[in-house]
Structure 1
Amino acid sequence: MQLTMIFEGSKPASAHTLPGQIRPFTTNEVPVLAQLYFDSYPQGTVEDVAEAEADISAALRGDYGTFLPQANLVYVVDGQILGCVMTVDSPPWDDVSDLFFIIDVFVHTKVRGTGVGRALMQAALSNLPEHRPVGLRVESDNEPAYALYRSLGFKEVTADK
């Protein structure tokens, strides 16, 4: 079951201490992001890398809301992208249409649990204006992600927000 979570607090400072760099991603990195997306999610989330690439391209086109370059970030170490956060404004889903919305966070399996997801989330949140809440959805059985979002100040909301 998917849970909707909302962040309405003060945006955290983006001050990661990881060895890599966090920066906006570019359109020419979509194929690399698609492979990471495919590899990062449980089997069956997307059928193949082509479907992952189509999904990321749809986000860039604005199919999921207005693409926000400053909050669509990658974590890079030695030229390798190891994590990504994707954020939009005004997504098309009625229950969250008035929010900034984190549509995806995915991290390479070899760096999970090392703070990459937290650093990406903090950087994305710090790059958004404070006057509007930020939403996201998480699978209820994804305990590590749920715990991360709670620790960052996201709160679970009921269906009517």
Structure 2
Amino acid sequence: MADDLAQCYLMSYPPDVAASDLDEAREEMNATFRGDYGKLRADASTTAWVGGRLAGAIMVVTHSIWDAHLTGPFIIDLFIDPHARGKGIGRALVQHAIATCCDAGDHTLSLRFGQGTSDAAMRIYQRLGFRPVG
């Protein structure tokens, strides 16, 4: 599973945005599971599989380690294999995170967007009610 995650992560981002090779992608995934980016919420973090192949993943932590003013769970990553895009997988993963966090009593779910955020991901976030803050 770790290699599947690393491979999907590597393929999901344009060159020079995330990991530059499979070893760096593995280290990013290891850092995520070690808690380097916050304590992973196993209930809200999940993967999507299509035809026995990892199609995407969402990683959610208990709170942002970068933005002290944000309270509640925080999406640190959403990535979709380029061959699986346009099938609603990203939307389903974000909806899973929202539903899980709501069911747990959380009132907010936050994220950051930047250079690696695709236009498709931005549309998903906007359509699901995410709004820019401060």
- CA offsets, 1:59-106, max 9 Å, x none? 111111111111111111222111110110123213455321100111
**Aligned-pair Cα RMSD in Å:** 1.7
- Confirm or deny: 8 A CA contact 2:72 2:108 kept in the other structure: yes
Query: Does 2:74 match 1:101?
Result: yes
2:131 maps to a residue whose letter is K
Residues 1:98 and 1:39: Cα distance change in structure 2 (over 3 Å)? same
Query: Does 2:109 match 1:134?
Result: yes
Residues 1:57 and 1:96: Cα distance change in structure 2 (over 3 Å)? farther
Equivalent in the alignment of 1:57: 30
2:52 maps to a residue whose letter is G
Secondary structure of 1:47 counterpart: coil
Equivalent in the alignment of 1:155: 131
The whole-number CA distance in structure 2 between the counterparts of 1:143 and 1:78 is 26
Residues 1:38 and 1:96: Cα distance change in structure 2 (over 3 Å)? farther
**Where does structure 1 lack aligned partners over 5 or more consecutive residues?**
1-28
**Where does structure 2 lack aligned partners over 5 or more consecutive residues?**
none
The whole-number CA distance in structure 1 between the counterparts of 2:69 and 2:37 is 11
Secondary structure of 2:86 counterpart: coil
Q: Identify the range of structure 1 (130-139 vs 34-43) with the bigger mean alpha-carbon deviation.
A: 130-139
Secondary structure of 1:58 counterpart: helix
Count of residue pairs brought into register by the alignment: 130
Task: Judging by fraction of residues, say which structure has more strand.
Answer: 1
- Confirm or deny: 8 A CA contact 1:91 1:100 kept in the other structure: yes
- Confirm or deny: 8 A CA contact 1:90 1:99 kept in the other structure: yes
Equivalent in the alignment of 1:80: 53
- Confirm or deny: 8 A CA contact 2:72 2:106 kept in the other structure: no
- CA offsets, 1:4-34, max 9 Å, x none? xxxxxxxxxxxxxxxxxxxxxxxxx111110
The whole-number CA distance in structure 1 between the counterparts of 2:96 and 2:76 is 15
The whole-number CA distance in structure 1 between the counterparts of 2:30 and 2:11 is 17
Higher relative CO (Cα under 8 Å, sequence separation at least 6) belongs to 1
The whole-number CA distance in structure 1 between the counterparts of 2:62 and 2:89 is 23
The whole-number CA distance in structure 1 between the counterparts of 2:126 and 2:94 is 12
Normalised by the size of structure 1, how large is the TM-score? 0.74
Q: How does 1:19-30 map to 2 (within 5 A)?
A: 29-30=1-2
